[in-house]
Structure 1
Amino acid sequence: MCKTEVLDKFQQAREKFLGLSLESTRKSYYPQLRQQLSTIQENEKRLRLLTDNLPARISFIDAEQRYLFVNREYERVWKIPREKILGQRVETVVGPENYQKIEGAIRQALAGQRMRFEAAIVEGDGRPVWLEINYVPYTDADGNQAGFYALTQDISERKWAEEALRESEAKNRELVQYAPAGIYEFDLQRRRFVSVNHVMCEYTGYTKEEFLQLDPRSLLVEEKDQHIYDAFMREVHSGRLNPKTAEFAIRCKNGSQIIVLLNIRFFAEDGHPKRMMAVAHDITAVREAETAKQNLEVKLQETQKLEALGTLAGGMAHDFNNLLMGIQGNASLALLDIDSSHPMYQRLKNIESYVQRGVDLTRQLLGLARGGKYEVKTTDLNALVKASADMFGRTKKEIQLQYDLEDRLWPADVDKGQIEQVLLNLYINAWHAMPDGGNLVISTANVSLGETDVAPYSIPAGRYVRVSVADTGFGIDPSIRRKIFDPFFTTKGIGTGTGLGLASAYGIIKNHQGAIDVTSKVGQGSVFFFYLPASDKAVDRGRTGAEQLATGSESILLVDDESMVLEVGQQLLEALGYQVTTASSGQAAIDIYEQLNASIDLVILDMIMPQMGGSDTFDRLKTINPDVKALLSSGYSIDGQATSILNRGCNGFIQKPFTVNILAKKIREVLEG
């Protein structure tokens, strides 16, 4: 259409409009306009009511970043009437700091880009809040970017809840990672670990990555534990998801083992087992302590049993010694009257030999009974060990002896004869364990034992000398390990052993305030070892010299409740040239001494007597004559009651049964001081 045509049409329309009367125009258009205006006003009222009551901030911002519309929520937030907000720039209303956080999004919205983001701002009352902001660009009828609508919601509670949840999860992760227990999670569907904490990795020695790759059955040491695990899995997959507690032996990365107590919880989804979480406590130390306690209880029971048997053996040995005293005394008397050419001489010597074997047996019984030490001296155990082992080795050529002796071994206060007996018993025991020959290693060492070390043996902590006898024999079966120190227990056939060797060794060492024990593995040999308290005194080197029968003519009062001992003792003393008076009880001895004390040079006093024993009798004799000379005689040892009597002034001690030579020597020692 050309310009002329447009002008013509405009002119026609103008003439038509001017031709209409004002009244007709009012009647035709005004009602329609009023209706439209009313509708617009009603819609605006509804829109205002809606926007003012929404819990969100709604606004329109023009291209100059000025507010052209805000709802009532803006008034509440910024504490400014909306009339004062309208026409204001965004930066002026929200403040420079808040504006910096949203400026970039505003510019993008004005460029026509729809924006949705979150921002943390400070409201008009100074309260920090989190907002979710939506910017919707608005284009006018001419297609120009006229501004944008802004819809803003306060999401502070949600954000704070999320933050609290994140903090809680972080704390929980920290707690799980460093809790005083191992914790891991296991996927029941895929049969694999999905998480593990730091402590569980420390328990097992694996890194987190290594642990998560493990087959759980590979951690279990014992086959029974693997069966328990398999049973667990079958039960879980059958739908039984009850909490469980179980104890397992776990194999660590370095090959060592620990014992863990697992508290297990199962989780399911839609009724199907999904995962398992376990809390593991390392109870290795607890179980070891329980085992140690059980071992201590066993050792205590063994000690009590041996003490009871020792008491019985001690009484038997005492009576047997008196019997041997009678036999020995009569043999000695007979030998005094004959020479070696006499037909009965050899038989009498045989009797003495048999008596000596009986004496050895009673010594073992007394050792079992812990009846004391006979003659205690500060001793170099290296020399004692070497001498006894060399003597044993000369008779057992099939045994190879090896020594590992401490260079500066501490001395010990011991009865040499008894410790030699212990060593000989251990050598013989090792020889029996190596019938085809082997190696016997004898070691000594200085050791300092602490409270933990001595707990199994009921001895005080301190300095000890350790003596070990190790063999390469067939070892000791665990089933008989606890019985080896029992009296009369032997693995040898009937008639080939008394079963007193190790029992007497146990008694002797315990009587020396020491301890004896054994370690052994079947097929790998045994190591018997004992501890003796170290002494601070110098080693007693002793004296040597030829002995001969000593005689005398002094007056002796012989006191013993056994008529057999009294009779043979009197005859032995008289054979040695002494004048003898006898008393069969303590009271009889007191009565005799009160009458004859001026003429009695020596009292030989039995220690164990009914009614008035040797201790009370000696005290009464001292009351009568403070300078009384007394020789104490007993089938028991010098320890205990005998030591107490000696400390109160008794002049000497002689062990029953004794030969005439020993008796003669002891009498002269006492009489001559």
Structure 2
Amino acid sequence: MRKLQMIKENFKQAIVEAHQRLENLSQLASLAADKSIKQDYPIELLQQAITEISISLEELQQQNEELVITRHLVEEERQRYYDLFNFAPDGYLLTNVTGIIQEANYAAAKLLNVRQSYLIGKPMAVFVHQTERQKFRQIMLQLQQQGQIRTEELQLSHKQGSTDFPAELTAIAVEDSQGKTQNLRWLFRDISDRHEKEQKIREQAALLDITTDAIIVEDLHNQILFWNQGAEKMYGWQVQEAQGNNAWELLSKKTSPLLLAAQKTVIEQGMWQGELHKFKKDGEEIIIASRWTLMLDAVGLPKSILIIDTDITEKKQLETQLLRSQRLESLGILASGIAHDLNNLLTPIMGIAQLLPLKYPHLDDISLQMLKILETNAKRGGDLVRQILLFSRGSEKELTIVLVSQLLQDMKQIAQQTFPKSIDISTDIAPNVGIVIGDSTELHQVLMNLAVNARDAMPNGGKLSISATKLFIDENYVRMHIGATVNFYVKITVADTGVGIDSEILPRIFDPFFTTKEVGKGTGLGLSILMGIVKSHSGFVEVASQVGIGTQFHIYLPSKEGSISQVIDEKELPSGQGELILVVDDEVAITQITKTALEFSNYKVLTAQNGIDALNLYSQHKDEIKLVLMDMMMPLMSGETAISTLQIINPQVQIIAMSGLAKGEALLQSTGIGIQGFLAKPFTTNQLLSFVQTIFR
């Protein structure tokens, strides 16, 4: 357009110059007539005029040709601008100051789903969604006052064309030479795709907040850039408290080598994962499974680190409990094997110590005293083996009603009589604590063990607190504690204000033979046996401790109601009526002492060293044998197989099983073998004879 204007001006100048030349010629002609110049002068003047006119005509023709060419160029340029205007991806509208559409491009018509001609003369407000027309009026007012608007969002629609979409508006007011608004120019585009993407981003953000994992973004200097709701819940810090702070200072008490190694690895390799110990806002330490990913900028340089943290504290606690349970179970299997052999050794010793005074009633007092010591120590050995068997959770118990309040009062009385006066002993027993069913001796041992440990932890005195309460354990609690079931429990707590237990060794205190006491002052079996006793009562144990503050042991035992029969006290040695009894055991000493005890009480006895011999003897004397005493663990043929075979030979056979393992009875019951009784080794002569007599009643 500018070039065309210049050509027009040049053309006008050429015409002016041509007129000037003609004027000059006209003046020359007049001058020649006035002065009667020579005859040939008019001819020269005419030739000069023709020459000047030719030059002017050539110049005019040249200027005209340039003007035509320029007009074509301008027309082409105008067509390109029109095409650009008409087919631009964004809609374009030109309205007057009242919003009446004067021009509209093809894109605007297409976006509004109408013909271009349909738009001309229509108020622009017609194509604004009715819910946003008030907003459109405010935009119009703002445009007239400020001269332009940028990136306003407005919902456009057309009821006939069923068009409805969000649009981004940009507009400008065009003024005339007097500064008065002449028209309004509008540019708008469909931003539905953007809204969908924003919606997806919002949904993804919602997912980030819904997840229970903590999602954190840190820069390369550990400054927190992003902190989701999962992080708020996990660590207790709100987003405004966390963002901008140093993550290591916020969540770790000190910079550990593991953190430095993790950062180095993620920068070099792009990712890292492992376990970290972090701290919540309230100071609680939790175990985290952390996964780090390096984030890059547009040119591929490290920009930030995306961290996803999962709280695995509960999982690690369960794993620790499971490993401890498996470890104790393995040791229990080993202990069972040792206990079996020890019981086989103790049984004849105990029997001989009881039989010798009966067989030789005139023994002197010293001999009788020595035999009594032998019997007492054999019983103590049997009790020790019985404690070891608690590892296998199958030792036979004398189950009775145990009044918890009485049990704790008895323990308090013993502690007050034997503990240093510098230790203050108190009890707090809930009125409704109730009863448990168990072995009162074992439960007493559990509490005394804890009380003695508490005493040793307070060499300079302190406070020993013993409490008991009844509570209900629900499913949420059961998920976190192996061995717990949904039930009412009696919770017994033994707490001290002693030196406490270091957190690093706390998980090991129930391991057999682990002790922090000096050599000769502890076997390391106390808490292991305690754990076995509690588990055998279907209970579980919790412990909490802080160095310098004290320790609390919590014993959970299932609460029961009702009663159970007490075991009948031992009576005088009963006598038989000459009944024939077959004793089967691979230990010669046991068969001999058992035979002696039975014969002394007027029974007849046959002995066998294994199951095969026992079957042969029974086949020969099956009409005479009234009872079979059968050991469960023998070479060549097990007691279980021998019993099954005897029952085939004679379904009415009377059998008492013997075993150094308390789980032998449970084994028989689980396999469905019917017997008349079970005698656990080591047994006293009284127990043997009383058991036999119950069969013959």
TM-score with structure 1 setting the length: 0.66
> Aligned partners of 2:536 and 2:71: how far apart in 1?
108
Q: Deviations over 1:562-609 (max 9, x none)?
A: 221122222222333333333333333333333444444433332322
Query: Could you say which residue in structure 2 is the equivalent of 1:485?
Result: 510
Distance 2:457 2:120 in 1: 99
RMSD: 5.7
State the one-letter code of the partner of 2:396: Y
Displacement of 1:619 after TM fit?
Answer: 3.1
- Distance in 2, matches of 1:658 and 1:310, equals 22
Q: Deviations over 1:384-436 (max 9, x none)?
A: 74376356436534462524457255754x44544444444444444433445
Q: Give the superposition deviation at 1:481.
A: 3.3
Residues 403, 553 of structure 1: CA spacing in aligned structure 2 closer, same or farther, 3 A cutoff? farther
CA change 1:306–1:77 in 2 (3 A) is closer
Deviation for aligned residue 1:174: 5.1
CA contact (8 A) 1:558 1:582 kept: yes
Structure 1 residues not aligned, in runs of 5+: 1-19, 58-72, 79-91, 102-114, 139-144, 234-239
**Alpha-carbon separation, structure 2, partners of 1:310 and 1:222:** 41
Residues in 2 aligned to 1:484 and 1:227: alpha-carbon distance in whole angstroms: 27
Correspondence 1:361-376 to 2 at 5 A: 361-370=384-393, 372-375=394-397
- Displacement of 1:439 in angstroms is 0.4
330, 343, 347: which one pairs with 2:370?
347
> For 1:321, what is the secondary structure of its paired residue?
helix
- Alpha-carbon distance in 2 for matches of 1:485, 1:359: 23
Instruction: Determine the structure 1 residue equivalent to 2:574.
Output: 550
Question: Residues 636 and 451 of structure 1: is their aligned pair in 2 closer, same or farther, counting only changes over 3 Å?
Answer: farther
Q: CA deviation at 1:168?
A: 9.3
Q: How does 1:427-576 map to 2 (within 5 A)?
A: 427-437=451-461, 438-443=463-468, 445-448=470-473, 450=475, 453=478, 457=482, 459=483, 461-463=485-487, 465-472=489-496, 473-512=498-537, 514-532=539-557, 538-542=562-566, 547-559=571-583, 560-576=585-601
**CA distance in structure 1 between the partners assigned to 2:648 and 2:220 by the alignment:** 91
Contact 1:201–1:211 (Cα < 8 Å) also in 2: no
Q: How does 1:584-603 map to 2 (within 5 A)?
A: 584-603=609-628
Amino acid aligned to 2:619: E
For the 8 Å contact 1:192–1:214, the answer to whether it is kept is yes
**Which amino acid in the other structure matches residue 590 of structure 1?**
L
Residues 352, 395 of structure 1: alpha-carbon distance in 2 compared, 3 angstrom cutoff: farther
Give the drift of 1:624. Answer: 4.0
Deviation at 1:224, TM superposition (A): 1.0
- The one-letter amino acid of 1:137's match is S
Task: Indicate how the Cα distance of structure 1 residues 199 and 387 shifts in structure 2: closer, same or farther if over 3 A, else same.
Answer: closer
- Between the aligned partners of 2:315 and 2:558, the Cα distance in structure 1 is 29
> Contact 1:451/1:460 (CA < 8 Å) preserved in 2?
no
Are the equivalent residues in 2 in contact too, given 1:409–1:465 (CA < 8 A)? Answer: no
Aligned with 1:345: secondary structure? helix
2:227, 2:243 within 8 Å by CA — same for their partners in 1?
A: no
Asked if the contact 1:264–1:277 (Cα under 8 Å) also holds between the matched residues in 2, the reply is yes
1:655 counterpart letter in structure 2: A
Q: 2:380 maps to what in 1?
A: 357
- AA at the equivalent of 1:308: S
Contact 1:442 1:469 in 2 (8 A): yes
Which residue is 1:313 aligned to?
A: 335
**Aligned 1:640-655 pairs, distance under 5 A:** 640-641=665-666, 643-644=668-669, 648-655=673-680
Deviation at 1:263, TM superposition (A): 4.8
Tell whether 2:684 aligns with 1:659. yes
Task: Specify whether residues 572 and 442 from structure 1 end up closer, same or farther in structure 2 by C-alpha distance, changes over 3 A only.
Answer: farther
| Secondary structure, counterpart of 1:551 in structure 2 | coil
CA contact (8 A) 2:598 2:605 kept: yes
* Separation in structure 2 between the aligned mates of residue 353 and residue 525 of structure 1, nearest angstrom: 39
Structure 2 Cα separation of the partners of residues 340 and 346 of structure 1: 10
For each residue in 1:14-57, what CA deviation from the matched residue of structure 2 results, as whole angstroms up to 9, or x when unmatched? xxxxxx99x969x99x9799999989978986885565433568
Q: CA deviation at 1:351?
A: 1.6
Cα distance in 2 for partners of 1:261, 1:633 equals: 58
Distance in 1 (alpha carbons) for counterparts of 2:181 and 2:506: 95
Query: More deviation in 487-496 or 48-57?
Result: 48-57
2:121 maps to which of 87, 95, 102: 95
Q: Is the 8 A contact 2:351 2:685 kept in 1?
A: yes
* Displacement of 1:319: 1.8
Q: Cα–Cα, structure 1 residues 332 and 387, in superposed 2: closer, same or farther, change >3 Å?
A: farther
CA distance, structure 2, for counterparts of residue 484 and residue 442 of structure 1: 22
C-alpha displacement of 1:663: 2.7
Contact 1:556 1:580 in 2 (8 A): yes
Contact 1:558–1:570 under 8 Å retained in 2: no
C-alpha distance in 1, partners of 2:682/2:407? 27
Give 1:310's aligned amino acid: G
d(CA) in 2 for partners of 1:479 and 1:180? Answer: 35
Q: 1:212 to 1:324 in 2, by over 3 A?
A: closer
Counterpart position of 1:325: 347
Write the distance in 2 (CA, Å) between the matches of 1:216 and 1:407. 49
SS at match of 2:606: strand
Cα distance between partner residues in 2 of 1:595 and 1:483: 57
Mapped contact 1:410–1:465 kept (Cα < 8 A): no
Q: Is the 8 A contact 2:291 2:307 kept in 1?
A: yes
For 2:507 and 2:519, locate their aligned partners in 1 and report how far apart those are by CA, in whole Å: 21
> Compared with structure 1, are the counterparts of its residues 545 and 133 closer, same or farther at alpha carbon in structure 2 (3 Å cutoff)?
closer
User: Residue 223 of structure 1: SS of its match in structure 2?
Assistant: coil
The answer (yes or no) to whether the contact 1:321–1:656 under 8 Å persists in 2 is yes
2:255 paired residue number: 224
Conservation of the 8 A alpha-carbon contact between 1:490 and 1:498: yes
- Among 587, 605, 614, the alignment partner of 2:639 is 614
Secondary structure of the structure 1 residue equivalent to 2:255:
helix
Amino acid at match of 2:250: L
Q: Distance in 1 between matches of 2:518 and 2:239?
A: 60
Contact 2:296–2:304 (CA under 8 A) maintained in structure 1? yes
What pairs with 1:13-92 in structure 2 (closer than 5 Å)? 52=75, 53-54=77-78
Q: How far did residue 540 of structure 1 move? A: 0.8
Letter in 2 for 1:658: F
CA 1:403/1:601 → structure 2, altered by over 3 Å: closer, same or farther?
A: farther
Secondary structure of the corresponding residue to residue 614 of structure 2 = helix
Instruction: Report the alpha carbon displacement of residue 314 of structure 1 after superposing the two structures with TM.
Output: 1.9
Q: CA 1:168 to 1:393, structure 2 compared with 1: closer, same or farther past 3 Å?
A: same
**Mean Cα displacement is larger for which, 304-313 or 177-186?**
177-186
- Write the distance in 2 (CA, Å) between the matches of 1:632 and 1:499: 34
Number of aligned residue pairs: 580
Partners of 2:544 and 2:551 within 8 A in 1? yes
Amino acid of the structure 2 residue aligned with 1:577: N
Question: Retained in 2: the 8 A contact 1:516–1:530?
Answer: yes
Q: Which moved more, 1:649-658 or 1:376-385?
A: 376-385
Question: What is the rounded CA distance, in whole Å, between the counterparts of 1:518 and 1:313 in structure 2?
Answer: 25
* Alignment check: 8 A CA contact 1:183 1:199 kept: no
1:85-113: CA deviations, max 9, x gaps? xxxxxxx9963637999xxxxxxxxxxxx
SS of the residue aligned with 1:561? Answer: coil
Q: Secondary structure at 2:396's aligned position in 1?
A: coil
Where does 1:79-158 land on structure 2 (aligned, <5 Å)?
95=121, 97=123, 134-137=174-177, 156=187
